[in-house]
Amino acid sequence: MRYRMLGEDLKVSAVGLGCMGMSHAYGAPADEGEMTDLIAKAVDAGYTLFDTAESYGTDQDPHANERLVGRALKPYRHQVVIATKFGISFGKAGASAPHTVIPDSRPETIRRAVDGSLERLGTDYIDLYYQHRQDPDVPVEEVAGVMADLIREGKIRHWGLSAVGEDIIRRADKVCHVTAVQNRYSMMYRDTEKLFPVLEELHIGLVPFSPMANGFLTGKYAKVHQFGPGDYRAYMPQFTAESEAENRRLLQYLQDTAAAKGITDAQLSLAWMICKKPYIVPIPGSTKLARVLENGGAADVLLTPEEVAGIDKALDALPMSAVFGGSPVRKTE
Whole-angstrom Cα distance, residue 18 to residue 143?
A: 24
Whole-angstrom Cα distance, residue 192 to residue 164?
A: 9
Q: Which of 26, 56, 232, 253 is catalytic?
A: 56
Q: Residue 46: CB partners within 8 Å, gap ≥ 6?
A: 1, 13, 296, 299
Closest CA to 87 of 70, 65, 111: 111
Query: Are the beta carbons of 52 and 42 closer than 8 angstroms?
Result: no
- Cα 103 versus chain centre, distance: 18
Query: Are the beta carbons of 202 and 169 closer than 8 angstroms?
Result: yes
Q: Residue 259: CB partners within 8 Å, gap ≥ 6?
A: none
Please indicate whether residue 189 is annotated as part of the active site: no
What does DSSP say about strands 159-162 and 3-6: parallel, antiparallel, or unpaired? unpaired
Which are the catalytic amino acids? 56
